[in-house]
Amino acid sequence: MIYDRLITDCHVATMTEGGAPYGAIEDAAILIKDGRIAWVGPRADLPVHKAVETESLGGRWVTPGLIDCHTHLVFGGDRSGEFERRLEGATYEEIARAGGGIVSSVKATREETEDQLYASACKRLEGLKATGVTTVEIKSGYGLDHDGELKMLRVARRIGREAGVRVRTSYLGLHAVPPEHRADRAAYVDKAVDDILPAAHAEGLVDMVDAYCEPIAFSVEEVSRLFDKAEELGLPVKLHADQLSNGGGAALAARYHALSADHIEHTTEAGVKTMAEAGVTAVLLPGAFLMLRETQLPPVALLRQHGVAMAVATDCNPGTSPLTSMTAAINLACVQFRLTPEEALAGATRNAARALGLQDEIGTVEAGKAADLAVWDISRPAELAYWLGKPMLHRRYLAGRAA
């Protein structure tokens, strides 16, 4: 057989479960055909082959391309001024009353064109790509009306076509109540569920449905209405759950067999058990934990005890996690949440793929999977969690092509 590419003289952290730590194969080789991994193993076992291109990596390490499975990458403006005001002593409530907070992001997002939103999102995306990301999830949620939500999702689709990453989109219409509906939130929930989601789905803009379930956001009953509509449309769901309080988010996610429950700082053991039984992945978001100066840690020991897969993501957003580095997220997950470097890397690869329903396509380096790879200038995989801010990426491959 003639292969498109042979990658050789490398070490591979396959991130497959079982066997050696990191699923490591030292002195390895990878054969790629039609954008997929055809073979990976010790170089000494390389099968008889012909390759159109051969690339020697000079002893570098290869991992699966990193997966940022929770972002709000598309939005208008920024909130750096609010960040400065908070450090000077202003409270979030004072800023919100003055027209700041999420209201300011909604206003800016509605005002910007699709081209403007695309340009600013691509600038933020450069940080993710420079830290090995080949797949990114992008949510709506700053439009909060028919035109604004669809505009955001169209931009996310364009990023997937043009910006050198795979993209999965999430409809986050139940993110906050928009200003014009403060006096009648029920009317907004009706609109988000019965108008905006079906329209976005009909246009092919939605891969998943997400919601923010908190006392300051939306109730279990309101989110259930949205998730019922998602089921009707054949769409999987995710959930911002138990970030600020134990509001039953984990149990709600489990009831709908959600792909993931995200944040979960306040999830109890009962919630963890329901997640385990339903196969819900926990997405840990250390950037928001850092920026909000939280003290309630997610229940990592319980997640381990009950066998819940743990993913790690940046939560890149303008208000609570202006983080555009996936390796920084890995480091913070280790330092703040006490994940091991191997757990954190699995969280950014194998388990992040689970959180997007893509575990059969990406997330590990094994035959049959897409050849989305990151090549690193490191001497051992733990360095990806060790260094904070150091450039380590040598090259990315997307579907077998250098990106």
DSSP, residue by residue, 215-226: TTSB-HHHHHHH
Could you tell me where the beta strands, DSSP code E, fall in 224-350? 238-241, 260-263, 281-284, 310-312
Q: Tell me: the pLDDT tens digits for 359-398?
A: 999 999 999 999 999 999 999 999 999 999 999 999 999 9
Report d(CA 381, CA 360) in Å as an integer: 23
**pTM of structure:** 0.97
Question: Is residue 331 marked as binding?
Answer: no
Question: Is residue 306 marked as binding?
Answer: no
Could you tell me where the beta strands, DSSP code E, fall in 133-278? 133-139, 166-174, 208-213, 238-241, 260-263
At residue 98 the predicted structure's pLDDT band, cuts being 50, 70 and 90, is confident
Question: Is residue 319 marked as binding?
Answer: yes
Domains of the chain: 2-64+364-402 (2.30.40.10), 66-355 (3.20.20.140)
At residue 93 the predicted structure's pLDDT band, cuts being 50, 70 and 90, is low
Question: Is residue 70 marked as binding?
Answer: yes
Question: Is residue 81 marked as binding?
Answer: no
Question: Is residue 240 marked as binding?
Answer: yes
Q: Tell me: the pLDDT tens digits for 169-182?
A: 999 999 999 999 99
Strands of the 401-402 sheet, one edge to the other: 36-42, 24-33, 2-13, 50-64, 373-376, 393-398, 401-402
Question: Is residue 201 marked as binding?
Answer: no
Q: Tell me: the pLDDT tens digits for 261-272?
A: 999 999 999 999
Mean pLDDT of the chain: 96
CA angle (177, 181, 187) in 5-degree steps:
95
CB-facing half-sphere around the CA of 63: CA atoms within 13 A = 31
Helix (H, G, I), strand (E, B) or coil at 346: helix
Question: Is residue 320 marked as binding?
Answer: yes
Q: Quote the pLDDT of residue 100.
A: 79
Mean of pLDDT values over 348-364:
98
Q: Tell me: the pLDDT tens digits for 262-301?
A: 999 999 999 999 999 999 999 999 999 999 899 999 999 9
